[in-house]
Amino acid sequence: MPVNDDRSWNENDLNAKLQEAKSAGIKYLIFHLSMGTTMFESVDHTSLIKRVTEKNNFDFFIHVDAAFGGFIYPFTSSDRDLTFENPLITSITIDGHKMLQAPYGTGIFICRKGFIENTRTVEASYVQGTDFTLCGSRSGANAIAVWMILMTHGYEGWKYQMQKLIDRTDHICETLDELKISYYRHPNMNIIAIKAHGIKPEIAKKYHLVADDFQNPKWWKIVTMMHVEKRLIDEFLLDLHQSVLN
């Protein structure tokens, strides 16, 4: 899907695609909205979906991909548009193995009452009960790990940790602004996507920045996690200052 400069969905394009779908006889849709995309950590809104579906008269469901952002955004922002507080949201995925740093394989799917039946498949009917939770070879230890991490921090504790990441990300953005280096960053999120021409390749390499495409980078991404400490950030910013002056 083409997006606008602020990473929001392009309304004209969406309308055109819906017209196409309508002509093809499609009546029901599932919209997949993001609470934090992988490269930019941008966040979608339901207002646009409401507008375009009313105009085109579609029935729809909304699924939220909160794989990356789900363990930070609700703690750093008061926006509840993509949560179950919004009656339009039917299901959400959220990963324990991203921000929460649980072991791999702790992806979580949650949906409203009555909808889980739609995910029951017959493919694994050799497992007794075609159950959705801990059967077959799914690891109960993973579920316990997520529970332990959440209980150890508590809501306030996690909120504090996430705010700390936002403060560090703000600090980096202030320097980027000073140096007039262009970037995208959602104000409640901990990813900064910097336009590639603003960063010398040797700096990207030294600090292991993540490219959107390592063959031909257009963006370099910084993810401010707990281990990205102030000392490392200041060293990076100093190098950046020097590279701009030279």
Ligand X SMILES: *Cc1c(COP(=O)(O)O)cnc(C)c1O
Cα(106)–Cα(147) distance, rounded to whole angstroms? 11
The strands making up 183-184's β-sheet, listed across from edge to edge, are 183-184, 191-195, 219-223, 210-211
Q: Show the binding pattern over residues 71-110: x = contacts ligand X (CB under 6 A), - = does not.
A: ------------------------x--x--------x---
Task: With CA atoms as reference, report the closest residue to 193 among 3, 54, 7, 4.
Answer: 7
Does 44 interact with ligand X (rule: CB under 6 A)?
A: no
Does 190 interact with ligand X (rule: CB under 6 A)?
A: no
Considering only 1-9, 31-39, 131-139, 195-203, which stretch makes contact with ligand X by CB under 6 A? 31-39
CB of 63 to ligand X, least distance (A): 11
Task: With CA atoms as reference, report the closest residue to 30 among 121, 91, 71.
Answer: 91
CB of 228 to ligand X, least distance (A): 17
CB of 231 to ligand X, least distance (A): 27
Q: Is 140 helix (H, G, I), strand (E, B) or coil?
A: helix
Task: With CA atoms as reference, report the closest residue to 49 among 39, 34, 69.
Answer: 34
Cβ closest to ligand X, residue 74 vs residue 198:
74
Cα(228)–Cα(215) distance, rounded to whole angstroms? 25
Name the one residue in this structure whose structure tokens are 């029901």.
Answer: 28
Instruction: State the pairing for strand pair 28-34/107-111.
Output: unpaired
Considering only 32-40, 81-89, 170-178, 184-192, which stretch makes contact with ligand X by CB under 6 A? 32-40
Does 38 interact with ligand X (rule: CB under 6 A)?
A: yes
Position among 14, 67, 166, 172 found at the interface with ligand X (CB under 6 A): 67
Size of the site for ligand X (CB under 6 A): 9
Considering only 61-69, 71-79, 144-152, 163-171, which stretch makes contact with ligand X by CB under 6 A? 61-69
Does 37 interact with ligand X (rule: CB under 6 A)?
A: yes
Instruction: State the pairing for strand pair 89-95/59-66.
Output: parallel
Considering only 21-29, 33-41, 54-62, 187-195, which stretch makes contact with ligand X by CB under 6 A? 33-41
Task: With CA atoms as reference, report the closest residue to 232 among 210, 209, 212.
Answer: 209
Does 65 interact with ligand X (rule: CB under 6 A)?
A: yes
> Which residues of the chain form contacts with ligand X (CB under 6 A)?
36-38, 65, 67-68, 95, 98, 107
